[in-house]
Amino acid sequence: MLRASVWPVPALYSLVLCLLLTVSPARAADKDTLRFVVPEFPPYTYLQDGNIAGIGVRKIRSYLDELGTPYELSLVPNYGRAVQEVKHGRADGFFLATENEERNSFAVFSTPIVINNWSWFFPAESTVNPSDTDFKKTARIATHLKTNTHKWLLKNGYKVVYSPSDVDSLVKTLHHKRLTAVFLAEAVFWESCERQGIPTDRFRQVVESGRPMGIYISKQFLNNHDGFMDRLNHVIENQTAIASPEASQN
């Protein structure tokens, strides 16, 4: 079991981690209660007025309420912490997340819920192109700590010079032109601009790829709850079809 000192957590998160923000009547000790850890990653998941909120939270609540599954949500500062909590059996799942091999080794990825556009963001007047041959060697790149964008950059040999757990500082630092580019989820970057009052026309976006985001449920939980993933995926597919504009036109 990892010691708390390995995972430095700000005072706010230390408090939140001690409080299970229960959104169902089940007790924390109930083995059937699905224990989620939720990274701070607005607009998908974040703390608002003492409650865990966001696009992802609204969707997951809808799915689990339809299933009648008791669940708990606890906020953690980043994806690295969420992965460790589930990997070591201290939680049963986390969301919203993109898929990778490490996560697949101890958990199962659900049917995708939203598409997350991984994008490069540059100052508006910048003419730098991420496809340039010398971009990897010369560009000063920043991204969100311990996310899949962070892992992808390192795996592919990019020069990551800044990786805070605070998304707002990424946008602010790029706005002050101290970086060549920020590599981040599209919705996360633009939401941070809005939150800080930074005009979006100060930046230029280049989409790298669209990555499906879903829910990870631990294999241990699924081994003890036969058929749960199939039922969850069925609910996701049904609700997605109902919400889809294409579905309403057919």
Domain hosting residue 138, numbered range:
116-210
The reply to whether 31 and 76 lie within a common domain is yes
Contact 49, 80 (CB under 8 A): no
Question: CA-CA distance, 228 to 250, in Å (whole number)?
Answer: 30
Residues 32 and 88 in one domain: yes
* Same domain? 131 vs 175: yes
- pLDDT of the residue at 243: 62
Q: What is the pLDDT of residues 172-227, one digit of tens each?
A: 999 999 999 999 999 999 999 999 999 999 999 999 999 999 999 999 999 999 99
> What is the spatial distance between Cα 40 and Cα 75, in angstroms, rounded to a whole number?
7
- Judged against a pLDDT cut of 50, whether residue 9 lies above it is answered with no
What is the predicted pLDDT for the residue at 15?
A: 41
Mean pLDDT of 112-136: 96
Residues 65 and 109 reside in one and the same domain: yes
